[in-house]
Structure 1
């Protein structure tokens, strides 16, 4: 990228399409401040974490492909990059924001663009230059994510990185100085299948034995780990109703000393809560049974 000498707040922006407007520091940008206050009145990190989890699950399509790791060679780089595009819709759904022109949504009456990247920078389109942008960075290798709110003035975008669509990257210094982080770096949702050895994963995802036996093996390997519904669907890729298969093995799991709990049922959530475990709806966990008390240990 070409080196960018940044203009400072108070100077006139270099955007010739929007004549005469001045660069504003975040503290002086009333519209930005209003949007920031509206967003941060909610559990932002939690909502983004869940949205990213959904976007990654969608791209992996584990219930049909058996894939569970976005960094796997089985995932094409183009698919990996498409997480950002899918995340836009997951964020709109999670926050219950409308899909609204001229950008992606409207928050507190202000037009806002939603951007995400699994790389080093964002591709800010020409229509979002000098507009408010939510910029999410997903660092797959470091297993974390973070989101900033920024007015992406053209003066703070790389001039030399624009493509034929007018998309440009954000200068690192501008992001550091004139954006507002919505939350600190937060851990990405981890697919529990990545905790398995290669040999264990191959065993779990093999065609044989049947689904129920492989799920018993899965819960045995991952005792005490919360198992999302999507993982069961991945284990049963291409098969019918894997969640029903999980329900069917509860007695067999108990014979192996495992208490299977599912967040769909209040009783199971209460049993998990008694062990200081918050079990989300539709998710599963296998806990060792304490035979002396007939409760999980």
Structure 2
């Protein structure tokens, strides 16, 4: 074969894959995998690159992603590899590094290879036949897994979608000082949530973010609902997607809220106070 177009099975699988919105589906699957590893509702962690996250945990995102991809696209597990598309066995591989570890059972088979660049918060996937002549020479690691030669990936791999941005966790937008206050030990949930919404105006806050801020505490969503009046006293309109009326108001301000989403819309004086650089130590 001189080109991927000469690979009949690859072309059949490629035709099947074109039926899906791969960029959107992989984005959802990757985000779910990262959220699973971080387990923010129990640990309070929200950044996979944090020193609180062990390198082994970061690597485990790839293992979880295999199952999340199958869930998102409704691809069923099928031997001898991970899935079967249009009757062709396909393996699913991913990495948070620069290469993939291809096991011996997947050599010479088709693989969907996903790369996540965590520092840039982007991802991309290729479809490639992992022929042994295109893998790095040698015995590989102790399990016989071998990486794909860069030249081979560029020549024989078919990009499935361009580099795609992953959603940013709003908590990563906080300054170091603000993080300390939002996660301050000994402070009640309502105080810390009010700080959260004050520091992140006009940004949609998902339910998972609130659970992370209130990790280990009881009924954080009720605490969030309880601060609407306190937020109003500070000149902040706090809207929750649980209520149709709030969703309507949010849409009028240009925000689309899901059932568990929140957004804080400050009035002009509140915006000026934030612009003045005030840290709210309430």
Q: CA deviation at 1:266?
A: 4.2
- Secondary structure of residue in 1 paired with 2:49: coil
Q: CA deviation at 1:281?
A: 4.1
Residue 73 of structure 1 corresponds to 51
Give distance in 1, aligned partners of 2:173 and 2:143: 41
Give CA deviations for 1:110-149 in whole Å, capped at 9, x if unaligned.
Answer: 2111111111100011111111111111111122111111
Residue 243 of structure 1 corresponds to 221
- Secondary structure of residue in 1 paired with 2:168: coil
Q: Is the 8 A contact 1:102 1:111 kept in 2?
A: yes
Residue 34 of structure 2 corresponds to 56
Alignment of 1:1-297 (within 5 A): 9=1, 25-160=3-138, 162-289=140-267
Give CA deviations for 1:13-47 in whole Å, capped at 9, x if unaligned.
Answer: xxxxxxxxxxxx32122322222232232221111
Cα distance 1:86–1:92, how it changes in 2: closer, same or farther (>3 A)? same
Give distance in 2, aligned partners of 1:109 and 1:262: 46
Cα distance 1:39–1:263, how it changes in 2: closer, same or farther (>3 A)? farther
Cα distance 1:156–1:264, how it changes in 2: closer, same or farther (>3 A)? farther
Any unmatched runs of 5+ in structure 2? 270-282
Give distance in 2, aligned partners of 1:146 and 1:196: 27
Root-mean-square deviation over aligned CA pairs:
1.9
Any unmatched runs of 5+ in structure 1? 1-8, 11-24, 292-297
Give CA deviations for 1:212-231 in whole Å, capped at 9, x if unaligned.
Answer: 11111101100011212211
Q: CA deviation at 1:265?
A: 4.1
Give distance in 1, aligned partners of 2:12 and 2:242: 38
Residue 294 of structure 1 corresponds to none
Give distance in 1, aligned partners of 2:246 and 2:110: 44
Give distance in 1, aligned partners of 2:253 and 2:66: 36
Q: Is the 8 A contact 1:147 1:183 kept in 2?
A: yes
Q: Which moved more, 1:254-263 or 1:175-184?
A: 254-263
Q: How many residue pairs are counted as aligned between the two chains?
A: 269
- What's the TM-score once normalised by structure 1's chain length? 0.85
Q: Is the 8 A contact 1:49 1:188 kept in 2?
A: yes
Give distance in 2, aligned partners of 1:153 and 1:165: 17
Q: CA deviation at 1:81?
A: 0.7
